Chains A and B, each alone.
Chain A
Amino acid sequence: GAVVSQHPSWVICKSGTSVKIECRSLDFQATTMFWYRQFPKQSLMLMATSNEGSKATYEQGVEKDKFLINHASLTLSTLTVTSAHPEDSSFYICSARHLGANTGELFFGEGSRLTVL
């Protein structure tokens, strides 16, 4: 099946620093990837849609300058949390659409748990 990999799985950083999370589709090309955020015991909230070669589309209420998304190739999207603060601590999970999956199902990465001290 289609594999999506995220890196790093865990990251701890100091307040004020920036953190980059990578999302890679390992065995397929993904023109569209999605970034979700999940707080403990809560659902996944869509942050933005990442389109290869163009600007990301952010959901209402998501700060574009805070969460920078780059989708420079068909297999890689990155999420950079800039000037991180403790309230940015969360589980970030990416997903990619596999064009070959006729149901339109999304394949998810393993997630990245960010803790900002």
Chain B
Amino acid sequence: AQKITQTQPGMFVQEKEAVTLDCTYDTSDPSYGLFWYKQPSSGEMIFLIYQGSYDQQNATEGRYSLNFQKARKSANLVISASQLGDSAMYFCAMRGVDSSYKLIFGSGTRLLVRP
């Protein structure tokens, strides 16, 4: 069975600083995908970044980067130069190898950016 764990219910960061949101996962599948989504208070889910299990390099998308440590089964999200608009819930998710492409989500981390 697949499992995603986010151990930080809430995080604070000062504006313009970097912050790391933790995510660990467990799966027996050799091939999988890891995702991070942002959910503002309005409720929509915004895709941020993707890391494939066979990708050799850590994924980066603008101010977002994914610190992928396969041996430790961790996929932490790093947000650089935090902005006030980054305040939101952040969810780590995993997709397995089955053809359904369904995502399993972690419990989420609420990030508050302080001015």
A interface residues with partner B (beta carbon < 8 Å): 32, 34, 36, 42-46, 49, 57, 91, 93, 95, 97, 103-111, 113
Contacts and interface: CB of A to CB of B under 8 A. Distances in A.
B44 A103 contact: no
Contacts of B106: 43
A106 B101 contact: yes
Interface of B: 33, 35, 37, 42-45, 47, 50, 52, 91, 95, 100-108
B108 to A, nearest CB: 5
B102 A93 contact: no
Given A43-B107, A44-B105, A105 B50 contact: yes
A110 B50 CA distance: 21
Contacts of A105: 35, 47, 50
A113 B103 CA distance: 21
Contact of B101 (A32, A57, A91, A111): A32
